[in-house]
Amino acid sequence: MNPTGERPRSGYHHGDLRRALLDAGIALARDGGPDAVVLREATRRAGVVPNAAYRHFASRDALLQAVRAAALAELAMAMERELARRRTIASPGEAARTGLRAIGTAYLRFARTEPGLFRTAFAVPGEPETSDSPAMAGRSGLNPFQLLSAALDRMVEAGVLPAERRPAAEYLAWSAVHGLAMLVHERTARRMPRAQMRALEQRLLDMVEKGL
């Protein structure tokens, strides 16, 4: 009944209402996407009257932005985990390449396994991902976009990406992966067989590597 385990309420004051509202908002976004994060429902889950939210968030949109930042942070951490999962590779060139691939893989998996959070992170206008507010970042302090940039930098250093192709390369890589992610869970190809989908993801990452 009370999934996060906090007792219903201590007294007149809540204790940490901001956190409770944010958690409720994240849960709503997780299953239902951005439109599902509705202020009154969040307060209901926190066991509090609707207007109490306004002591912590200026508007429904402010809450939504906070949820979005949390979603981006989760994605960043998924990327960091995928990067860490690589075994140490022989050549530095290969290491750099698998780094980029890990970023893309984590992105696509996140879109698959957390469609609601994914849409909340990217289908809602707001502060651009390129800005570095720590709320959007993972443990490394980098947000998803910055993690991608770093991966590309390492490719240049390792000599597997010509320096003259480096500028703005994150936009190309991001575009391709993001487009497929949208395609995957939003529409068409929803009922494409799993194996075929994975193969398509690999081909896309190949295309990026080859075409960058």
Partner DNA sequence: GACGCAATGTATACACCGTCCACACGACGC
Partner DNA sequence: GCGTCGTGTGGACGGTGTATACATTGCGTC
Chain positions contacting a second copy, by CB under 8 A: 122-123, 125-126, 128-130, 145, 168, 171-172, 174-180, 182-183, 186-190, 196, 200, 203-204, 206-212
- Compute the least distance from the CB of residue 35 to DNA, in Å: 9
Contact 144, 79 (CB under 8 A): yes
- Interface residue with DNA among 40, 85, 86, 198 (CB under 7 A) is 40
Which amino acid, 100? L
Show the tokens assigned to 103.
């970023």
| Rounded-to-integer distance, Cα 21 and Cα 54, Å | 11
* CB nearer to a second copy: pick between 5 and 193: 193
How would DSSP label each residue in 127-170? Answer: S-TTS--GGG--TTS--HHHHHHHHHHHHHHHTSS-GGG-TTHH
Site for DNA in 137-176 (CB under 7 A): none
Closer CB to DNA, 10 or 188, in the complex: 10
Q: Among residues 22 and 148, whose Cβ is nearest to a second copy?
A: 148
Nearer to a second copy, 10 or 188 (CB): 188
Chain-centre distance of CA 197, in angstroms? 20
162 binds, among a second copy, DNA, none (CB under 5 to 8 A by kind): none
Distance CA 135, CA 193 (A): 36
Site string for DNA, 8-37 (x = CB under 7 A): ---xxxxx-x--------------------
What is the secondary structure of 105-130 as a DSSP string?
HHHHHHHHH-HHHHHHHHSS--S-TT
Interacting residue ranges for DNA, rule: CB under 7 A: 11-15, 17, 38-41, 48-52, 54-56, 59-61
